Amino acid sequence: MIQKNMLRSAMKNNYIVPAFNFANFEILRGILMACEETRSPVILQVSESAMNYFSDGLLFGLIQGVKKTKLPISIHLDHGKTFEVVKRAIKLGFDSVMIDGSILPFDANVKLTKKVVEYAHARKVHVEGEIGVLSVVNDDGEKGKGYVYTSPEEAKEFVRLTGVDSLAVSIGTNHGVNKYTGEPKIRYDILKKIEQAIPNIPIVLHGASLVQPEYVETINANGGRIDKAIGNEKLLKNAYKTHIAKINMDTDFRLAYTAGVREYMTQNPDKFNPRDYGNAGIEKVAECAKFRIINICHSNGKAKNKS
Ligand code: G3H
Ligand code: 13P
Ligand code: ZN
């Protein structure tokens, strides 16, 4: 199982494997350019809605192409919510799946996750589960009403009952462009307790986009309007020293790509070849990925660990 080896190596050698979502072809291209330049391993993530956007036939071909590159690459289903979507991803050639039963009651989450683990392991596919709930941020509070920090005791029991290979936890991060209404804070104290409870399980951090102001400012200076944007800019600096072995970033690439395209269009109102503005977006995505690989994941140069 390629991802299992990648994550174990990251945990042992103090770095993080970047798990980057690609929402379109251009974002994938920019991410691969950065990984090749920095010699970083990478987990390429596809959500169910991204699968639908690509269509199964084209995605299958894309995955075959990606697997031919020399880099250690894992293709991962992000936030699979049902057994059916897991089966669909495995059929398409994914070597890793996330089954996200985090909003279900504990027993139902265990039941669904265990079923996926049995199916996936029989096909040598890695499984990520989740305990704790990341939710939207309310206007009136620090975290959305549904936000549940991961309980270390539950995490331990969940791993024991399901046999997952890695575990996504909830320690303060959130999905999307606006992650905090109060002071941005990640609960490293909870993470420490989780690490003690499940010392051999690689930890996954969702909602890890930095949301750097420069991309939001470029978008807004070129006709966009993103009012609130608060990310994890300063909070993940030392994450590579912990058991966090995989961090998920999607929003940052959406911002970088949009910034590149919008800026190009403002500066070149006469251009209408999608490859012209697409390339501008690709360049920004590559720069964005490179920064995260070097400064947050410290995974540059680790591609030689391919196993
Ligand atoms: O965590 C969720 C990902 O950002 C996927 O979002 O369903 O819009 O592709 P999506
Ligand atoms: P961001 O919204 O912070 O990029 O998180 C993405 C994610 O967790 C995908 O699973
Ligand atoms: Zn996520």
Q: Minimum-distance ligand to the CA of 44?
A: 2
How far lies 220's CA from each of 78, 225, 229, 252, 262, in Å? 29, 5, 11, 15, 9
Instruction: Establish whether 140 is a catalytic residue.
Output: no
Query: Residue 36: in which H helix or E strand, if any?
Result: helix 25-38
Residue 244 per-residue DSSP state: E
- Which pLDDT does position 144 carry in this prediction? 57
- Which pLDDT does position 121 carry in this prediction? 98
Mutational test site, ligand 1, from 99, 102, 175, 249, max ligand atoms within 8 Å of CB: 175
- Which pLDDT does position 167 carry in this prediction? 98
- Which pLDDT does position 304 carry in this prediction? 73
Mutational test site, ligand 2, from 97, 249, 252, max ligand atoms within 8 Å of CB: 249
- Which pLDDT does position 143 carry in this prediction? 54
Q: Is 96 helix (H, G, I), strand (E, B) or coil?
A: strand
Query: 188-231, pLDDT tens digit by residue?
Result: 999 999 999 999 999 999 999 999 999 999 999 999 999 999 99
* Residue 208 Cα to ligand 3 middle (Å): 8
Q: What class is the 2-297 domain?
A: alpha beta
Query: 32-55, pLDDT tens digit by residue?
Result: 999 999 999 999 999 999 999 999
* Residue 268 Cα to ligand 2 middle (Å): 31
Ion ligand 3, residues whose Cβ is below 5 A away: 206, 248
* Residue 196 Cα to ligand 1 middle (Å): 30
H helix intervals, 74-131:
83-91, 106-121
- Which pLDDT does position 129 carry in this prediction? 98
User: Which two structure tokens, joined as six digits, stand for 7?
Assistant: 């994550």
Domain ranges within the chain, ordered by starting residue: 2-297
- Which pLDDT does position 134 carry in this prediction? 87
- pTM for the whole structure: 0.96
* Residue 207 Cα to ligand 3 middle (Å): 6
Query: Among the options 78, 95, 165, 250, which is catalytic?
Result: 78
Q: Cβ of 142: how many Cβ atoms within 10 Å?
A: 14
Which residues does ligand 1 sit against, CB inside 6 Å? 21, 23, 47, 49-50, 78-79, 175, 250
Give every CB contact of residue 200 below 8 A, 6+ residues apart in sequence.
Answer: none
- Which pLDDT does position 79 carry in this prediction? 97
Nearest ligand 1 atom to alpha carbon 206: 1
- Which pLDDT does position 253 carry in this prediction? 98
- Which pLDDT does position 187 carry in this prediction? 95
Q: Minimum-distance ligand to the CA of 209?
A: 2
Residues of the chain below pLDDT 70: 135-145, 305-307
* Residue 78 Cα to ligand 1 middle (Å): 8
